[in-house]
Structure 1
Amino acid sequence: MAKNTTKQDEEQMIRSKGEIIKRLLSYLKPYKFKTVIVLTLLVFVMLCGVLNPYLLKIAIDKYVDIKTPNVNGLIYIGLILIILNLLSMIASKVRLVMMSSITNNILVNIRHELYAHIQKLSFSFFDNRPVGKILARVMGDVNALQTLFTNSITSLIPELLSLICVTIMMFLLNFKLALTTIMLLPVLCISMFYIETHSRVRWDAYRKKRSNLLGLAHENFSGMKVIQAFATEKDNSEGFKETLNELIDKFVKAVRLNDFFWPLVELSWGVGIVIVYYTGYTLINSGTLTVGTLIAFSMYIGMFWRPIMNLSNFYNTLITNFSAADRIFDILDIEPDIISLEDAPKMPQIKGSVEFKNVTFKYEEDSGIVLNNVSFKINPGENIALVGSTGAGKTTIISLLSRFYDTTSGEILVDGKNIKNVDLESYRKQMGIMLQDTFLFSTTIMENIRYGRLDAKDEEVIAAAKAVNAYDFIIKLEKGFQTEVNERGSRLSLGQRQLISFARALLANPRILILDEATSNIDTQTERLVQKGIEKLLHGRTSFVIAHRLSTIRDCDKIMVVDDGMIKEAGTHDELLKLKGIYYNLYMAQYNFLNEGA
């Protein structure tokens, strides 16, 4: 998958109009009964509107006579009109309320489906997209569909029915006038098709630039400390302004073309009225047309062109939001790389044996090999340290063990079971992973620790905090365990965040524990306090520890030295020092560096 940046337009699949409409309308299935009611009400309102001119024609031609006016007949027609229009108003109100309910529920369902699907996608999806661009799809693109769904039911179906009924009524009243009315439609349709062809391309370009802007804004806000630290606010503002101008340019071009829709329809309407009245005038003079029929026909002309204008508006909306629908379906159509096999058995309680058998891995098909034929076996309850230079493949090993990625070749066995063949969720629930970049949610410390086991009681949360020596600093905070932390826990120090992360991992009670540079940001004094907590955390469970600070892994059962994607050395601390190989050189270099510093 190609890497996408904040200034790079995303690749996007262009689907046919029919495919998009079909997929969007499929979201109406759960609301079939309500939709039928809405459509019934729409048909009723439409029929009331169609009958109004015809009743007026009857009133004028039959009951309006200067010599012998039929007042009772006029009153009768008037009462029918009043009743019809009152019922039409009530039906219209009920229809709007029900339609709003259906539309909002559909949007909630689409957004939830999209969010749930994104959570299932593999790390490669997130590695290759800025977070802001993902948010643009979940929020902005889904919101763009609201008008589309509303108009598809409130405009498309009823306006088409209304157009058909009005056209039939016009042909029944006078064939010549009806032909005169629709003679401009072919020209209008050809013009609109031309505009649509070019307009969709422009709206696609606009949404890509909008996504770039959101991606850039999210990235800059997330890195605001770095921006301010290096005093690059002005440069970043210029970059933001440049991206914003690109967005404005694409928007103006798209809107400018769309604005031709309305003038085309109104021009056709106006020319059509002139032609109809001229034809009607000649027919009245020839005695083949009554005044009442012409008046009724003039009302039907408005009723004929109004649906066309509304349909044009819907068509315009459709084109404007096709790109949003494409972008949503692009995400929904991505198949997760890491999934559970169909009917995969749940992982039993893990005892802790881990075996890598001839594991080779690379992140992309055309990229270099990161791990090359790695094999090792770990017994239950052993503590394993992974050491080596940056980029050697240490984090890749634990990522494969966590099944964030699948091996290119070879097998990973846990308790003798290939992790590809067991239910993914039941497997990951028994693992605890602590990363160097500890992530805390924007909630209380209590809830951040409880995230390790959501059904844990407050007493259990507090006990976990005490076990890793996090309790003392927590109770000194203004509200103790109920203290709200900022996004990513920015109001706490790095060491405090990691202590909370230790408590969260202990509460989860994982069968396999992974610590990826988890003590790298803890100062020496705090590290001494937390060592006993880590010992308790590691006791009785298989654990993998990645650490550059070699003094923290001396007591591990086995130390594996990873170099150039392979396990070059393995043994205890003392055994590796006696080898005087890679580990010995790393240890001595660090030891001498610390002594020089002292």
Structure 2
Amino acid sequence: MKNLQPQNRIPFLSKPFKLTNPTLKSPSKTLLQPLYSTFSLLSLITSQQKQRLQIGPRKQRQQGNTSDPFDPLSFIKPFILSQYKPILLGWLCSLLSVLSLSQLVPKFGQLSSSIGKIDGVTLRNDGLVLAGLFLAKLIATYGQHAFLWEAALNASYKIRVFVFERVLERELAFFEGGGAVSSGDVAYRITAEAADVADTVYALLNTIVPSALQLSAMASRMLVISPVLSLIAAMVIPCTALAIAYLGTRLRKVSKKAKLSISALSAYLNEVLPAILFVKANNAEFSEVARFERLANADLSTLLTKRKMKAFIPQIVQIIYFGALSILCVGSMAVSSGCFDGCSMVSFITSLIFVVEPIQDVGKAYNEWKQGEPAIERLFDLTKFKSKVTEKPDAVDLGHVSGDVKFCDISFRYGENSPLVLNGLNLHIKAGETVALVGPSGGGKTTLIKMLLRLYDPLYGCILVDNQNIQNVQLESLRRHVGLVSQDIVRF
């Protein structure tokens, strides 16, 4: 019968050969200043920073020290900076929102104190001005959220693509063997945890400039109206900030445990559901339900702890509101004694309310960051590796292949403490020959194919294709000339 093997491909090994070695398995200037600083910061984005986000050749991204301490912000920073346009637009909208608010607060105080003292036309005109300012604030706030969410989701998308590409570049040993990472765990990180990163990025972007602008504008107005009451209000903030910081550190640890528990549950489901045939064939339904119950209970415990802590943190922020009530009482007494008028009092309380809002946002953003840190770290772990199978800088293209393959004194083991799978193997397969490998399970038959594709490198010895050492050949060129037909069906 005529051999119908593809041209320029190495034929599958099928000449009888037995392997016997088994293996074990002013207000406006003040307001604009933070935005100017932000513009200066973002203008530092260079082509080199943008280059970090581009998917480049394999060998350019496999360099680097994998033992450096992990900094979540340094990992996501290039992805965030790549979205500088929607970020700037969002922060510009926040500036317009705060400008509208800074005009709205004094006019509201003036109007509230003069009701009944002015004619209907003036009241109507002042009301229209207030409505216009309020509408402008609503529109600007919507633009702020829309643009910043666009930036956060695009950054998360880029992180997800980058991590997935790095996962595909990892060696086969990462996916199989005793130390392999579960495919369900990897899938959970790239899907759910990358989505959590989007929430974290949005919380940061929505706090850095918008909250700073609103806080500085309203605090400045409070100082102008009454420095004494402003000082009383400021005394509440440091204590609250310290409490939130302490709870945030605890929340990060709990969040990391929660990520690990849900990841273990997801990995188990990805393992057991495709193997449902074997579960039923071995009457293992009861034991698998018990195993699932243990994993689900562990996830429940960590999730309850996390939710209770998240519920407690806003109560700390409520202290600020009680502080505001005390200031209201002091202010009322001051008005009664004639220290300052009712218009100033209304403006002060209104400003205080809008000071509390950004402080609360900062607390929420801090909590989001502490919850997002474990997700960022687990995504980073997928990208941090140094390949053992590397391509030499002067690697050559394999070119035309006749199909002559030599395994020269090959020895191989999967782990440092594992027994040798292959020990001093020599095999010569001439062009056009069909070779069959016969041996027990774990004897190294599939290992030979993996080494021919350079998914693993031998411990000792070398593999020659047309008398060329495959370690001197470009990986893409080598794998292009090897045809692999598996018993498992995979669609691309």
Fold similarity call, TM over 0.5:
yes
Normalised to the residue count of structure 2, the TM-score between the two structures is 0.79
Closer, same or farther in 2 for the Cα pair 1:168/1:408, shift >3 Å?
farther
**Aligned with 2:103: secondary structure?**
helix
1:82 aligns with one of 128, 131, 138: 131
Question: Residue 14 of structure 1: CA displacement?
Answer: 12
Partner of 1:245: 297
Closer, same or farther in 2 for the Cα pair 1:203/1:214, shift >3 Å?
same
1:427 aligns with one of 475, 478, 482: 478
Q: Distance in 2 between matches of 1:15 and 1:199?
A: 21
Closer, same or farther in 2 for the Cα pair 1:50/1:341, shift >3 Å?
farther
Conserved in 2, the CA contact under 8 Å of 1:180 and 1:275? no
Partner of 2:369: 318
- Name the stretch that deviates more: 171-180 or 358-367: 358-367
Conserved in 1, the CA contact under 8 Å of 2:183 and 2:267? yes
**Aligned with 1:373: secondary structure?**
strand
2:450 aligns with one of 399, 403, 408: 399
Superimposed CA distance per residue, residues 282-316 of structure 1 (whole angstroms, 9 cap, x where no aligned partner): 43344332211111111111111111112212222
Which AA in structure 1 matches 2:441?
A: T
**Aligned with 2:398: secondary structure?**
coil
Q: Distance in 1 between matches of 2:443 and 2:339?
A: 94
Partner of 2:332: 281
Partner of 1:170: 222
- Name the stretch that deviates more: 384-393 or 23-32: 384-393
Conserved in 2, the CA contact under 8 Å of 1:59 and 1:73? no
Partner of 1:101: 150
1:374 aligns with one of 411, 418, 425: 425
Partner of 1:270: 321
Give the unaligned 5+ runs of structure 2. 1-66
Partner of 1:201: 253
Q: Distance in 2 between matches of 1:20 and 1:279?
A: 44
In the TM superposition, 1:36-75 aligns within 5 A as: 36-59=88-111, 66=117, 69=118, 74-75=123-124
Which AA in structure 2 matches 1:144?
A: D
Question: Residue 118 of structure 1: CA displacement?
Answer: 1.5
Closer, same or farther in 2 for the Cα pair 1:181/1:343, shift >3 Å?
farther
Partner of 1:115: 164
Partner of 2:26: none
Partner of 1:259: 311
Partner of 1:186: 238
| Bigger Rg, structure 1 or 2 | 1
Normalised to the residue count of structure 1, the TM-score between the two structures is 0.66
Conserved in 2, the CA contact under 8 Å of 1:360 and 1:371? yes
Give the unaligned 5+ runs of structure 1. 1-12, 442-450, 452-598
Q: Distance in 2 between matches of 1:315 and 1:95?
A: 19
Which AA in structure 1 matches 2:489?
A: F
Q: Distance in 2 between matches of 1:155 and 1:129?
A: 36
Q: Distance in 2 between matches of 1:165 and 1:362?
A: 67
Closer, same or farther in 2 for the Cα pair 1:214/1:14, shift >3 Å?
farther
Q: Distance in 2 between matches of 1:230 and 1:346?
A: 50
Partner of 1:586: none
Closer, same or farther in 2 for the Cα pair 1:58/1:416, shift >3 Å?
farther
Question: Residue 200 of structure 1: CA displacement?
Answer: 1.2
Q: Distance in 2 between matches of 1:164 and 1:416?
A: 73
What value does the CA root-mean-square deviation take over the aligned residues?
2.5
Conserved in 1, the CA contact under 8 Å of 2:166 and 2:383? yes
Conserved in 1, the CA contact under 8 Å of 2:249 and 2:370? no
Conserved in 2, the CA contact under 8 Å of 1:181 and 1:273? yes
Partner of 1:211: 263
Q: Distance in 2 between matches of 1:421 and 1:77?
A: 81
**Aligned with 1:219: secondary structure?**
helix
Question: Residue 230 of structure 1: CA displacement?
Answer: 2.1
Q: Distance in 1 between matches of 2:252 and 2:460?
A: 44
Q: Distance in 2 between matches of 1:409 and 1:378?
A: 19
Q: How many residues align?
A: 423
Question: Residue 343 of structure 1: CA displacement?
Answer: 6.0
Partner of 1:438: 488
In the TM superposition, 1:269-418 aligns within 5 A as: 269-342=320-393, 344-418=395-469
Question: Residue 156 of structure 1: CA displacement?
Answer: 4.1
Conserved in 2, the CA contact under 8 Å of 1:156 and 1:314? no
Q: Distance in 2 between matches of 1:157 and 1:339?
A: 44
